[in-house]
């Protein structure tokens, strides 16, 4: 999200950066606490947590770390704000189970899949609506494949990312809070090979 906010206070969120969604479109609700990254120019950055307010579309700031010695950076009026995950978000490293390409979400938060042909993934047993749940899927391919994702996945950027090629690994992250009606999907860095 773009912001024209200046100074070190609460951020008023502007429009979504091209190719990305607004916080509300990504499933953030009024009063939700999110982990954010602010980038302002090439060397000013801030990571923290903030409470999203849909009325006026604002985000409070509680700084975890920054390029300003751990204090809030003074915004220039031309910064970008995004929701991010940090190590704290992935501390529970419960490896879940896969049966073929069915991912049992009740069994963990990290899943690994090795494939040699194009998989069609199914997400089963999500937590009930109102419970936030995120998980990571690592896909390693030994052949050129095309992944088919559940229709309930809403991808960051508007479309599913490219599938890993032969000998490559891709890592994806998903989030739902509505019992699996919608999963917000993120490609975590392209492919590794």
Give the tens place of pLDDT for each residue, 45-79: 999 999 999 998 999 999 999 999 999 999 999 99
84 and 96 both lie in a single domain = no
Gap between the Cα atoms of 34 and 134, Å rounded = 13
Quickly tell me which residue has 């200046």 as its tokens. 6
Torsion of CA 87, 93, 97, 103, to 10 degrees: -20
73 and 109 both lie in a single domain = no
Residue-number span of the structural domain to which 105 is assigned: 92-192
Q: Return the DSSP state at 77.
A: S
pLDDT tens, per residue, the chain with 193 residues = 999 999 999 999 999 998 889 999 988 999 998 999 999 998 999 999 999 999 989 999 999 999 999 999 999 999 999 998 776 666 555 677 677 899 999 888 899 999 999 999 999 999 888 888 899 999 999 999 999 999 999 998 889 998 999 999 999 999 999 999 999 999 987 778 7
Supply the pTM of this predicted model: 0.54
Report pLDDT for 121. 97
Gap between the Cα atoms of 17 and 140, Å rounded = 31
99 and 183 both lie in a single domain = yes
Q: Which of 146, 136, 150 is nearest to 166 (CA)?
A: 146
Gap between the Cα atoms of 163 and 115, Å rounded = 11
| Cα distances (Å, whole numbers) of residue 99 to 65, 73, 141 | 40, 47, 17
185 and 128 both lie in a single domain = yes
Gap between the Cα atoms of 45 and 41, Å rounded = 8
36 and 109 both lie in a single domain = no
Q: Which of 57, 88, 119 is the last residue of a domain?
A: 88
Report pLDDT for 69. 95
Report pLDDT for 88. 62
66 and 143 both lie in a single domain = no
Report pLDDT for 66. 95
Number of domains in the chain: 2
Report pLDDT for 87. 64
């Amino acid at each position: 999200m773009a912001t024209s906010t200046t100074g070190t206070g609460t951020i008023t969120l502007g429009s979504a950066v091209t190719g990305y969604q607004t916080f509300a479109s990504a499933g953030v609700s009024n009063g939700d606490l999110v982990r954010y990254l602010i980038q302002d120019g090439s060397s000013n950055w801030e990571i923290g947590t903030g409470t999203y307010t849909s009325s006026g579309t604002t985000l409070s700031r509680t700084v975890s770390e920054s390029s300003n010695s751990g204090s809030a950076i003074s915004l220039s009026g031309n910064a970008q704000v995004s929701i991010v995950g940090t190590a704290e978000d992935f501390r529970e490293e419960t490896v879940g189970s896969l049966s073929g390409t069915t991912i049992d979400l009740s069994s963990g938060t990290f899943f690994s899949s090795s494939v040699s042909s194009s998989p069609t993934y199914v997400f089963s047993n999500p937590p009930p609506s109102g419970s936030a749940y995120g998980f990571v899927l690592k896909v390693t391919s030994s052949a050129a494949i095309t992944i088919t994702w559940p229709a309930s996945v809403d991808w960051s950027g508007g479309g599913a990312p490219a599938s890993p090629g032969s000998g490559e690994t891709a890592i994806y992250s998903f989030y739902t809070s509505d019992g699996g009606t919608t999963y917000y999907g993120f490609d975590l860095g392209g492919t590794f090979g």
